Amino acid sequence: MTDYKLLTEQLKSLAEDEPDYMPVLANASALINENMEDLNWAGFYLMNNGSLLLGPFQGKVACIRIPLGRGVCGTAAQNDEILKVDNVHEFSGHIACDCASNSEIVVPIHKDGKVIGVLDIDSPKLSRFTEEDKEGLAGFIEALEQVTDFSRVF
């Protein structure tokens, strides 16, 4: 079971000396990858010219650009909602960047009330993500929004 309170405190500590979005997101993806079990991908997509562009991540090669409204990431960003999908193969419009992924959770990231990106986490295990994961990752992203300087890009 993931200790989201500790994970969030580690994130805040990592951002103290350098709040620029790139190193913070890189370390955030590493924290998630190291501390959550049964994952095969953890990373970020950031808004760029009306779609999501691949950002820092841990895992296999990934899709580079995802249109809003497509796949779990594009749908979560467009609707500004956390999506927890037990079986991605049953999700209408799923984009199979890695055919080993079976479940997924996506959490929107905000700046000034607008979605600027998403945290995307995949697992090879069906129904991997719980309500506890959903709540814990929502808190993790809230802290990320507070400690990260996204002004250089957005």
List pLDDT tens digits, range 37-80: 999 999 999 999 999 999 999 999 999 999 999 999 999 999 99
Which domains, and CATH codes, for the chain? 4-147 (3.30.450.40)
Q: What is the mean pLDDT of residues 84-108?
A: 87
Q: Amino acid letter at 130?
A: T
User: Mean pLDDT score of the chain, rounded to an integer?
Assistant: 94
* Beta partners for residue 115, in sequence order: 110
Q: How far is CA 154 from the centre of its chain?
A: 17
- Judged against a pLDDT cut of 70, whether residue 117 lies above it is answered with yes
The pLDDT tens digits of the residues spanning 98-115 come to 678 999 999 999 999 999
Rg (CA), the chain: 14
Q: Which two tokens stand for residue 153?
A: 């890009």
Task: Determine the pLDDT at residue 126.
Answer: 97
Contact indicator for 84, 133 with CB cutoff of 8 Å: yes
Instruction: Measure the CA–CA gap between 70 and 50, rounded to whole angstroms.
Output: 12
Residue 70 makes CB contacts below 8 A (sequence gap 6+) with 93, 95
Contact indicator for 76, 106 with CB cutoff of 8 Å: yes
At 90, is the secondary structure helix, strand, or coil? helix
Contact indicator for 141, 11 with CB cutoff of 8 Å: no
Name the pTM for this structure: 0.95
Instruction: Measure the CA–CA gap between 149 and 147, rounded to whole angstroms.
Output: 7
